[in-house]
Structure 1
Amino acid sequence: MKGQYPDIQGGGSLILAWQVRNKKVLVIGGGEVAAGRIVNVLNADAKVTVVSPRSGLNDEVAYRVEQKQVEYIDRKFEPSDLDDVDMVLAAVDDPEASTQIYKLCQEKRIPANIADVPPECDFYFGSIHRDGPLQIMVSTNGNGPKLANIVRRRIASNLPSNIGAAIQRVGILRRKLRKIAPAPEEGPKRMQWMSKVCEQWSLDDLCDMTEDDMESLLGFFQPGTVPSLEALRLGDPDGVFDGPFLI
Structure 2
Amino acid sequence: MSESEQHSEFPEILPNDRHVLVVGGGEVAASRIYHLLNANAKITVISPTMNPEIEYRESKGLLYSVQRRQFVDSDLSLYEKPTPKLEKFDEEEYKNIDQYLKDSRFELVLVAIDDPIESKKIYYKCKLKGLNVNIADVPPLCDFYFGAIFRKGDLQVMVSTNGRGPRMARLIKDKIGNLFSDYEIDKTIGNIGELRKLLRIKNSGTDNQSIQDRMEWMTKTTDLYTFKQWSDVDIHKVIEYYPNLPPKYEDLK
When normalised by structure 2's length, the TM-score is: 0.76
Question: What's the offset of the Cα at 1:154?
Answer: 2.3
CA separation of 1:34 and 1:177: change in aligned 2, threshold 3 A? farther
CA RMSD of aligned residues (A): 2.5
Query: Which residue matches 1:111?
Result: 132
Query: Which residue matches 1:3?
Result: none
**Following the alignment from structure 2 to structure 1, what is the Cα–Cα distance between the partners of residues 112 and 218?**
43
Amino acid corresponding to residue 185 of structure 2 in structure 1 = I
**Following the alignment from structure 1 to structure 2, what is the Cα–Cα distance between the partners of residues 29 and 179?**
50
Runs (5+) with no aligned partner, structure 2? 78-104
Instruction: Tell me the matched-pair count.
Output: 219
- Whether 1:177 and 2:195 are equivalent positions in the alignment is no
Question: What's the offset of the Cα at 1:179?
Answer: 4.2
- Whether 1:98 and 2:119 are equivalent positions in the alignment is yes
- Is the 2:132–2:143 contact (alpha carbons within 8 Å) kept by the matching residues of 1? yes
- Whether 1:35 and 2:30 are equivalent positions in the alignment is yes
Amino acid corresponding to residue 91 of structure 1 in structure 2 = A
**Following the alignment from structure 1 to structure 2, what is the Cα–Cα distance between the partners of residues 43 and 34?**
14
Task: Indicate which of 51, 67, 72 corresponds to 1:78.
Answer: 72
Query: Which residue matches 1:4?
Result: none
**Following the alignment from structure 2 to structure 1, what is the Cα–Cα distance between the partners of residues 112 and 150?**
22
CA separation of 1:17 and 1:187: change in aligned 2, threshold 3 A? farther
Question: What's the offset of the Cα at 1:202?
Answer: 4.3
Matches within 5 A, 1:187-206: 187-206=211-230
Q: Quick one: percent identity of the two aligned structures?
A: 39
- Is the 2:187–2:232 contact (alpha carbons within 8 Å) kept by the matching residues of 1? no
**Following the alignment from structure 1 to structure 2, what is the Cα–Cα distance between the partners of residues 206 and 126?**
28
- Is the 1:162–1:203 contact (alpha carbons within 8 Å) kept by the matching residues of 2? no
**Following the alignment from structure 2 to structure 1, what is the Cα–Cα distance between the partners of residues 114 and 165?**
20
Query: Which residue matches 2:184?
Result: 162
- Is the 1:196–1:226 contact (alpha carbons within 8 Å) kept by the matching residues of 2? no
1:149-194 Cα offsets, whole Å, 9 max, x none, are 2222223223344112211221232233234434243333323322
Runs (5+) with no aligned partner, structure 1? 1-8, 231-238, 242-247
